[in-house]
Amino acid sequence: MLKGKTILIGITAGIAAYKICELIRMYKREGANVRVMVTPNALHLVTVLTLESLSQNEVFVDNFEIKEYKPEHISLCDEADIMVIAPATANTISKIANGICDNLLTTTVCAFNKPVIIAPAMNTNMWKNQFVQENVAKLEKSGYHIINPESGFLACGTTGEGRLCALEKIYDKTIDILNKNKILDGKKIVISAGGTIEKIDPVRYISNFSSGKMGTALADAAYAMGADVTLVSTFDINKPYNVVKVESAVDMEKAITPFNNNVDCIIMAAAVADYRVKNYAEQKMKKTSDDEIEIQLVKNPDILKGLASSANTTKIVGFCAESENLLENAKVKIKNKGCDFLIANDISRKDIGFSSDENEVYILDNKLNIEHLDKSSKSEIAYKILEKIFE
């Protein structure tokens, strides 16, 4: 999602500086060129060697460490598509808001005329300080993207607002700003993700190994491409679009069915259990002296087939996870389900199976035309799937 983009990260001397190492990795996984600059005091918290190893680029600290004729703050401004300052201390925030340029980071942001994301992190009382809040408001009014800190246990030993926000929030905001090719603008899309849970008793259940990564990648990509997205998920996740949490296959059917013919597309990426327990035990089942027990199962509703059979204006897209005879089984499934597209993937391969960050799929349409997408990140696969569906 970030291929061809250059992200300039500014790290200041907050204890959360170490977390930015993972943010760099997140950007790199999506193909971004990451450049890093740090304030001198931030080097007490994270090393140049670590940052250079992760970004695979030189790390900049001081204005006078110039290896080229072009001044660094101008060179970096020209190269980068966006600047992310995280963690942003009260000191740096106040300097930026008042045009103070006394180090490379503040000098660069003063000259930067592209989008800037600022993620503050500091002690609760510092965050609530009148002057800090005035400076934050001034930056926000000037067009800077502020991602407020969260509440929680802080490094100073207190609990309150001031902890650096979840890295996913910074990542999602970056994706949202940089993906200006909103080819799905005006489209409404519902996507399911994760493996359903079918309870046996209050402590046991039947499920599967689905991580929900492919469904989430599709939702992220659709949102970045401008769509109005609803993710129906079997797990908790914090996203800038609408998320509906469900548990069982019956729950998922109830959540998704009302959207049919009210949205442009429904993508059933979730791994829905084929069967559920016939007689749920209200109390925990006790171990007995018997070596065997029997649990009766009944069929769950076929959500994909039900959606396809009643769809008039909504495109219905299904997923096919197979461990053998991938294409043969996929052709049978798309005919049986009646959906518009079917995405087939081979779950027997460890490199693209459950929980992997990569995938390799075949896209089948209802006329049995087949398109192969080579192994790539699930994010890139998601973009290509959406482009195919809405081409």
Based on the fold, state whether residues 291 and 304 are members of the same structural domain.
yes
Pair (156, 205) in one structural domain: no
DSSP-assigned beta bridge partners for residue 370: 364
pLDDT score recorded for residue 181? 62
Instruction: Note the pLDDT of residue 72.
Output: 54
What pLDDT was estimated at residue 69?
43
Q: In DSSP terms, which residues pair with 363 in a beta bridge?
A: 343, 371
**Cα–Cα distance, 310 to 313 (Å, whole number):** 10
- What secondary structure letter does DSSP report for 219? H
| Mean pLDDT in order along the chain per 10 residues (391 residues) | 89 93 93 93 93 93 57 73 95 95 91 93 91 94 91 76 90 83 88 97 94 94 92 93 96 97 97 95 91 93 96 96 93 96 90 84 96 89 93 83
Residues 146, 234: one domain?
A: no
Residue 198: domain span: 182-389
- Examine the domain organization and report whether 71 and 212 are in the same domain: no
So what's the pLDDT on residue 380?
84
In terms of domains, do 152 and 251 share one?
no
With beta carbons less than 8 A apart as the criterion, state whether 30 and 1 touch.
yes
Same domain for 12 and 159, yes or no, is yes
Is 156 noted as a catalytic residue in this protein?
yes
Instruction: Report the domain count for the chain.
Output: 2
Same domain? For 168 and 206 the reply is: no
Q: Are 236 and 153 in the same domain?
A: no
Write down the pLDDT at residue 146.
Answer: 94
Point out the domain boundary residue: 144, 177, 210. 177
- Domain for residue 16, yes or no? yes
Structure tokens at 360: 């390799």
Q: Does the pTM of the predicted model rise above 0.85? A: no
CATH of the domain at 75: 3.40.50.1950
- The answer to whether residue 1 sits within a structural domain is no
Helix (H) or strand (E) holding 145: strand 145-146
- How many Å from the N-terminal Cα to the C-terminal Cα in the chain? 18
For residues 379 and 232, membership in a common domain is answered with yes
Confirm whether 111 is domain-assigned.
Answer: yes
Looking only at the bridges linking them, the beta strands covering 370-377 and 358-365 are: antiparallel
- Spatial neighbors of 318 by CB under 8 A, at least 6 apart, are 268, 304, 308, 333, 334, 337, 339, 341, 342, 343
CATH of residue 226: 3.40.50.10300
Are residue 14 and residue 139 in the same domain, yes or no?
yes
Choose the final residue of a domain: 153, 177, 201. Answer: 177
* Residue in 21, 156, 165, 339 annotated catalytic: 156
Q: What is the pLDDT of residue 64?
A: 52
35 neighbors 55 (Cβ within 8 angstroms): yes
